[in-house]
Structures are given as C-alpha cells and as structure tokens.
C-alpha cells in the first residue's frame, strides 16, 4: 500500500493547475455570465495533450495512468466545472469506450484523432423522455445491408455542438425482453448528413460549457462503426458511465477544495463581533466538513483510479465516488456561500458559481437517487458485477508508453 503520488502525478497536477489558473480563471466569470464557452479552450486542452491523457502513446495519447485522469479532473474543476466536463465526456464516455470496446481498426480511425486532440468526442445516450430508465430509450438503429439507419433525439448532451464524434446508443431490437438487451452502441461522425444539433439555453450551472441536443434523421452509420456486438449497447453504455462517474467524482473533489480555499481565505479576513469569522464555531463546523469531505472524496477517487490501473472492476467504487463527491460538493458550495454571507450571493465571488455548477452533477451520470439504489443493492446482494466480454485494459506503463 502506498498513498504517495508519483513525481509524474505531481508534475501533471502542477501543469494543469498552472494552465487553469493562468488561462481559464481570468476569463471564466465573464463567459459564465455570458452563457458562452471560453473561446479556444478545447483547442488549448488538445495542444497541451489533455484530450489524450490516459490513452496509450501508440494510439496518439499521452500514456498516463487512470489516476492521472482523476487528478486532472480535480484540478480542472477547481477552476470551473465546464473544463472537467470535457474530460468526462471526451475521455470518459467517448475515447476510453473506444479503447475498451473498439476494434483495432476503430482505434486507429477514431481513437487516434481523439487522443491527439484533433477531434472532440461526446457521449449521446439520454433522450427527452428517458434518462434514469435508460434501458427504455426509443431512438432506433435499423440495419440495412452495410449500414445502420439511426433515428431519434438525444438530449442533455455535453459538447453536443462542439464534438466531432459521439458514442451513441440506439435501440436495434424493439422487441427485446428485457429491453436493455435490444440496445447497440455506435461511434458516429456528427458531421454526417441527417444530424442536426443545438445548444440548450437557460441552464442553472456550467454556463461556460456547452450542453445541447442531437437529432438523428435517417443517419447512415457504417456497420464497422458499431462498438461492441449488436445488443451489447447497454453494457457499453454502462461501462462508459463508470468512467464518466469516476471523472465527475474526482472533479467534485476539486470543487470542494475550491469552496474550502475560498471559505478559508474569507473566514480569515472577514471580521464580525470583533474577530475574524474563522473563530466562530459555526463557521468552523462548515470549514471542518469541507476539509473532511475533500479528503474523503479524494481517497474515494484515488481508490477508483487505482482499481482501474489494476484492471479490476470499479463500477461500484465509481458510483460511490460520484454519489458521495457530488453531494459533498453541493454541500460545500452551499456552505461556502453561507460563510461569505451576502457577498457569496453575488457573482463578484466565485462561490455562487461553484454552487450553481455543483447542482447538475447530482443529476447527470446517474442521479443521486440512482446511486443510492445501486449502493443499497450492492450491499444487500441484489446486485453484483458480472464479468464483461471485454474489460477496460489495465494500466501497464510498458505497453502504454510503447510507440
């Protein structure tokens, strides 16, 4: 057992911290206010290699381990959740799904440009009528010779209008029983004919991010773009969520740390009743809870990353990390506003943005309710993980760094 981060981990952490502080922090407030993404942010993340971070060098990536993906998520969300969302969808949902399930040809064709940052990836699963009961999605993929014909609408898709590729899950068998056996996943070029997409306006949080919808009208997808087998789409999607949840949970640690740092700075400066408010016990309680929750979320995600590195199943741990982390982040941001008093209520300070950003993460990638049930079912023995036909490859430095 070893709790130390490697020099490599620490240097990546510092690099991402510098990037986010120098290039994003000065702008994020303005773009959050404008409900607009910061211009060029995906390109910069690509140039720095962040879009290929935990992908083997052979596939155009940086060959870092899965723990690094968590550390990067934490550092990015420390500054703004929109940056971490990029890691969740591009890396967690899309690129790593191709690494996990894809054929060598699919890896060469789709994973390499994603990892190099030449293309941006997303995951399109949720529909206007189906989120938590994902097995019952209605979008269809009908096979006709060498192609599938996709029809349907996907909603609440991060980077919907920015991404080039998306992992898309559709129903190939309308009569499957249980219904989740009738789903199939595809890697879809979002510039294909028949695709329209747009941004969703009026979001509570992640306003400097891009969240939208994608409509498919008779979109032809070649058979060779199918990820996994026909009927395996539910498993492909759930494994994508495992990785997405890992990054969301790790990001939550960043948001808690940001709320904590802001609160500590404020509590040491602000004086009431003749002393800094940090000396008041009810303020201390909030600070202590944030410090505790940061450490717990961090340990949870590092453990999840470690399981991923070992090639062990991490569905349960990722769910726990995401559930605990996002709820703790919401509470931390909420408390941070309380500590800041009326100033916290204004967008002069960052904490109100943290608060708005923290809210969505309790809904997406499995709502808190879903994770509560998942954890209960694991504990009660109603749920257990069956081996997958293919597992996410473990982190093997020799293999990952090989040219």
By the rule CB under 8 A, 266 interacts with another protein:
yes
Cβ atoms within 10 Å of 381's Cβ, excluding its own:
7
Could you tell me which residues come within 8 angstroms of residue 11 by beta carbon, excluding any fewer than 6 positions away? none
Cis peptide bond upstream of 362, omega within 30: no
**Is 291 a binder of another protein (CB under 8 A)?**
no
Could you tell me the two tokens for 240? Answer: 């994508």
User: Which of residues 37, 46, 49, 209 is near another protein by CB under 8 A?
Assistant: 49
**Number of residues this chain uses to bind another protein (CB under 8 A):** 25
19 belongs to the binding site for another protein (CB under 8 A): yes
Give me the residues paired with residue 154 across strands. Answer: 214
Select from 6, 103, 217, 310 the one that contacts another protein (CB under 8 A): 6
Q: Does 361 engage in binding with another protein (CB under 8 A)?
A: no
Q: Are 80 and 28 in contact (CB under 8 A)?
A: yes
- 3-class DSSP state for residue 193? coil
Report if residue 264 touches another protein, rule: CB under 8 A.
no
Residue among 11 and 288 whose Cβ is closer to another protein: 11
Residue of 2, 7, 146, 398 that binds another protein (CB under 8 A): 7
What 3-state class would DSSP assign to 401?
helix
Site membership for another protein, residue 280 (CB under 8 A): no
User: Would you name the residues annotated as active-site residues?
Assistant: 365
> Do residues 361 and 252 touch, judged by C-beta distance below 8 A?
yes
CA 167 to chain centre: 14
Q: Is the distance from CB of 170 to CB of 183 less than 8 angstroms?
A: yes
Which of 12-20, 226-234, 301-309, 386-394 is the region at the interface with another protein (rule: CB under 8 A)? 12-20
Q: How far is it, in rounded angstroms, from Cα 266 to Cα 276? A: 9
Q: Is 296 in the site for another protein (CB under 8 A)?
A: no
The region of 56-64, 202-210, 214-222, 280-288 touching another protein under the rule CB under 8 A is 56-64
Among 12, 150, 188, 214, binds another protein (CB under 8 A): 12
- CA dist 273 and 137 (Å) reads 57
In total, the chain counts a number of residues equal to 403
Minimum CB distance to another protein, residue 48 (Å): 6
Among 37, 56, 60, 63, binds another protein (CB under 8 A): 63
Site string for another protein, 186-225 (x = CB under 8 A): ----------------------------------------
Can residue 22 be called a binding residue for another protein (CB under 8 A)? yes
Q: Does 62 bind another protein (CB under 8 A)?
A: yes
CA dist 360 and 77 (Å) reads 13
Could you say which DSSP state residue 211 is in? E
State the minimum distance, in angstroms, from the CB of residue 303 to another protein: 22
H or E element, residue 43: helix 41-47
Contact with another protein (CB under 8 A) among 38, 41, 45, 53: 53
Report the nearest approach of another protein to the CB of residue 26 (Å).
4
* Contact by Cβ (8 Å): 330, 251: no
**Nearest residue to 221 via CA among 211, 210, 233, 212:** 233
Residues making contact with another protein (CB under 8 A): 6-8, 11-12, 14-15, 18-19, 22, 26-27, 30, 48-49, 53, 62-64, 266, 269-270, 343, 348, 401
């Amino acid at each position: 057992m070893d709790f130390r981060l490697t020099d490599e981990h620490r240097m990546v952490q510092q690099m991402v911290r510098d990037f986010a502080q120098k290039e994003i922090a000065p702008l994020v407030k303005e773009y959050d206010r404008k409900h607009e993404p910061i211009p060029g942010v995906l390109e910069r993340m690509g140039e720095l290699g962040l879009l290929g971070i935990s992908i083997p060098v052979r596939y155009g990536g940086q060959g870092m381990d899965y723990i690094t993906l968590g550390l990067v998520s934490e550092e990015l969300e420390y500054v703004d959740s929109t940056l971490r969302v990029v890691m969740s969808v591009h890396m967690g949902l899309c690129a790593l799904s191709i690494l996990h399930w894809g054929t060598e040809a699919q890896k060469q064709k789709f994973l390499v440009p994603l990892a190099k940052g030449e293309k941006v990836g997303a995951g399109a699963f949720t529909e206007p009528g189906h989120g938590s009961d994902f097995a019952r999605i209605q979008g269809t993929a009908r096979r006709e010779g060498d192609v599938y014909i996709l029809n349907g609408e996907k909603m609440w898709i991060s980077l919907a209008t920015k991404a080039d590729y998306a992992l898309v899950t559709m129903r190939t068998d309308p009569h499957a029983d249980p219904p989740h056996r009738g789903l199939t996943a595809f890697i879809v070029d979002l510039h294909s004919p028949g695709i329209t997409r747009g941004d969703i306006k009026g979001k509570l949080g992640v306003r400097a991010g891009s969240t939208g919808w994608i409509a498919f009208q008779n979109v032809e997808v070649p058979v060779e773009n199918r990820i996994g087998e026909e009927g395996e789409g539910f498993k492909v999607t759930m494994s994508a969520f495992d990785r997405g949840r890992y990054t969301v949970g790790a990001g939550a640690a960043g948001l808690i740390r940001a709320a904590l740092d802001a609160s500590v700075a404020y509590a040491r400066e602000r004086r009431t009743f003749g002393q800094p408010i940090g000396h008041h016990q009810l303020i201390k309680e909030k600070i202590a809870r944030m410090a505790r929750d940061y450490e717990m979320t961090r340990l949870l995600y590092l453990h999840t990353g470690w399981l991923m590195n070992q090639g062990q199943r991490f569905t349960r741990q990722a769910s726990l990390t995401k559930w605990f982390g996002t709820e703790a982040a919401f509470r931390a941001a909420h408390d941070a506003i309380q500590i800041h008093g009326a100033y916290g209520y204004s967008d002069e300070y960052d904490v109100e943005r943290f608060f708005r950003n923290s809210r969505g993460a309790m809904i997406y990638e499995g709502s808190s309710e879903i994770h509560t049930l998942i954890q209960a079912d694991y504990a009660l023995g109603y749920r257990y993980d069956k081996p997958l036909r293919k597992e996410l490859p473990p982190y093997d430095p020799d293999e990952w760094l090989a040219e």
